[in-house]
Structure 1
C-alpha cells in the first residue's frame, strides 16, 4: 500500500429536510386540520480513529465527502427520516487542520475515538407545528437548515514506541529489516527510504512498534532534504534509537548534525529519551570501533552501544534494553492518566 501522510479534502454535512404543508382530508372527517410533518435532520460528518491503517492513501483520489440530506416531511403527521452520516475512517495519529493548514481542529490519538466535525442541519417545521387556537389552518412550512462545509487538511504523524533516526545510509532500514518482518527498501545510496516504515519488534515476551524515519541531513528542520515533513513522525515516538554509521570518518559530527536538527525542529524532540548506537561495526576493526565509540561517548556523555544490523552483533541486547525502556514509558503514561 502506498504511503501518504498528508491530504486536503472537502467535507459537507447534510442539509435539513423541508417541512410539509398538508391537510387531512378524509370522507366523514369534518375537521381534518393541518397534518404536515417536520423535515428530518441532515447527516453529520464524523471522524473515526480505527486500527489497521497507517496511511491516508484513501483520501488521495476521493477528495469530496458529503453527508446525506435529511428527508422531507410528509402529510399524515409524518416526520422525515434523518440523513445518513458519513464516517471518515482515519489512522491513529491523524491531525485535522483547518484550510489554513495551521489551525488544529482534531487530534486522533486513541483507537475508537469519534469526533463530529460538521453537524447536519436541522429539519424545517411542517405546518402542523404552527397550528394554534387562533391559526387553525396554517399554510406555513420551513425549509431545512443548511449543513456545514469546509476544506480541511489531514496530516498523519505515525505513533510508534521507538523511532529510528540518523543520517542517510546509517543502516536504519537494514536494522529494521533484521529485527522485524518489515521489508523496507535497502540500497547503497542516500535517501533510499522516502517514507516512514513500521515494524513490530519482538524481544523475549515484549512487543513494540519501531518506525524507520527517512534520513535527516543538515538543514532538515528548515526544509532541506526531505525536510520537516518526517520530523513530525518522530514527534509521536516514545523514545529514539539514534544510529551512527561507524564507517563515517567523523562519527561525532554525524551525531551532532542529527541532534541539532531535532533541537531546531522544537517541541519535545530534543528532550526525548535517546539510545545511541554505533552501527555497521561488521566492517570495522576492533581498534577503530573502540576509538570511535570512545569519541562518541565523550561527545554525547552517554553510553554508546556497539551493534551491526547485518551480522547481528549486539542486537539482541539492544532490543531487550529498548523493550525495558518502552515498558517504563508505558507505565509512566498510565500513571499520568
Structure 2
C-alpha cells in the first residue's frame, strides 16, 4: 500500500459561462427581439469526508485539480449548463491548510455536510436581460466570472481509539492481527511495519479503530513528525514491550521519553502496558517482572502471548472500558 499523509494541491473552481447575443429569427418575425441566454455557473470545489479512506494516496499523482467551467448561454433565452463540481474525498482526520499563509482552514474530524472551499464563477448575462423601453435590440452581453484558485496542503492525522506503539520486533503487528481482521506483515526481524497499519474491532455494536504504529527507535528523534502525529488523536495508547528483554522498565522509559519529546507541553494520551512474548520466559519470572513494572510505572500491566489468544482480548477490553468511562465523564 502506498501510504501518503501529507500533500499539496493546486485547486481551481470553474469559470462561469459567457452570456450570448442572440435575436429571435422566425419565418414571420424577421426582426424579433433579443433572446440570448445567460451563461452557466462554474463548478465549486467541495471537500467531502469519507470514513472508508485511510490515506491521501489518490492525490499523489493528481495534484492539479479543477472544477468544470459553465457553458455559454444559447438562443431562446436558454441558460448554459452549470459546470460540474469538483469533490475532494479525504479521510477523517485530514487538516486543510492554506499553503501560502500556513493557516488552518478546516479540520475534518467527523462526517458532516460537505464543505465548499472554492465557489465557482457566476455565469455572464445574455443580451435579453438588457432589453428596455429605450433599447429594444441590445447588442451587449457579459462574460462569465473567473473561477477562484488557490493552493492547499492536506495533512492527515489518523483518528483512532487505540494506538499500539513499541520498539522494533516487540509484537505490535501480532497484537493487531489477533484482535482485528487486519493482515499486517509479521516477521521475526525488526522494522516490518513501515507505515501505520489500521484495523477495526467491533464490540457491543460499536466500532473501534486500532492502529499499529511503526517502531520507535533511539535514532527516531530527527523524524518524529513522520508518523507520531497519528497518535495525537488516539484515546488510549498500548505500549507493547518484549518481556524477554533484560529490562522492561528501561524499554518503557525509552518509549515514554520519545513521546514526551514529541508532545512537549501537550498531554500524552493515557496508556496501558502489555508484556509480549511471555511464552519465552518462565511463569515465576513473568509475574515478578509484571509486578515490578506496574510498581515503577503505576500503570496497568497485561501479559500477552500467541499461545494464549484470550490474553489479547483481556488487554483490549480493558482499553475499551477506559475509553467508555472517559467518554461518560465528558
TM-score (norm 2): 0.89
Q: 1:165-217: per-residue Cα shift (whole Å, max 9, x none)? A: 11222210111112222111112332210111112235577652211011122
- 8 Å CA contact 1:22, 1:127 repeated in 2: yes
Structure 1 residue 30: Cα displacement: 7.8
- Are residues 1:135 and 2:132 paired? no
Partner of 2:45: 45
Q: 1:102-126: per-residue Cα shift (whole Å, max 9, x none)? A: 4322222223541112211111112
- 8 Å CA contact 1:203, 1:319 repeated in 2: no
Q: What secondary structure sits across from 2:274 in the alignment? A: strand
Structure 1 unpaired stretches of 5+? none
Residue 249 to residue 313, structure 1, CA distance change in 2 (3 Å): farther
Partner of 1:104: 104
Partner of 1:244: 241
Partner of 1:317: 314
After superposing the two structures, state which structure 1 stretch, 193-202 or 65-74, moved more.
193-202
Structure 1 residue 306: Cα displacement: 2.4
Structure 2 unpaired stretches of 5+? none
Counterpart Cα distance in 2 of 1:89 and 1:76: 38
- 8 Å CA contact 1:10, 1:149 repeated in 2: yes
- 8 Å CA contact 2:259, 2:268 repeated in 1: no
Counterpart Cα distance in 2 of 1:269 and 1:197: 25
Partner of 1:304: 301
After superposing the two structures, state which structure 1 stretch, 160-169 or 27-36, moved more.
27-36
Residue 180 to residue 291, structure 1, CA distance change in 2 (3 Å): same
Residue 222 to residue 123, structure 1, CA distance change in 2 (3 Å): same
Counterpart Cα distance in 2 of 1:86 and 1:245: 49
Q: 1:131-186: per-residue Cα shift (whole Å, max 9, x none)? A: 33333332221111111122322222222211111122221011111222211111
- 8 Å CA contact 2:180, 2:200 repeated in 1: yes
- Are residues 1:280 and 2:273 paired? no
Counterpart Cα distance in 2 of 1:15 and 1:195: 40
Structure 1 residue 72: Cα displacement: 0.5
Partner of 1:229: 226
- 8 Å CA contact 1:101, 1:153 repeated in 2: no
Partner of 1:18: 18
Counterpart Cα distance in 2 of 1:272 and 1:51: 23
Residue 123 to residue 206, structure 1, CA distance change in 2 (3 Å): closer
After superposing the two structures, state which structure 1 stretch, 58-67 or 138-147, moved more.
58-67
Structure 1 segment 263-274 matched on structure 2, within 5 A: 263-266=260-263, 270-274=267-271
Partner of 2:95: 95
Counterpart Cα distance in 2 of 1:113 and 1:256: 44
Q: What secondary structure sits across from 2:258 in the alignment? A: helix
Partner of 1:114: 114
- 8 Å CA contact 1:12, 1:45 repeated in 2: yes
After superposing the two structures, state which structure 1 stretch, 108-117 or 96-105, moved more.
96-105
Aligned length: 330
- 8 Å CA contact 1:168, 1:190 repeated in 2: yes
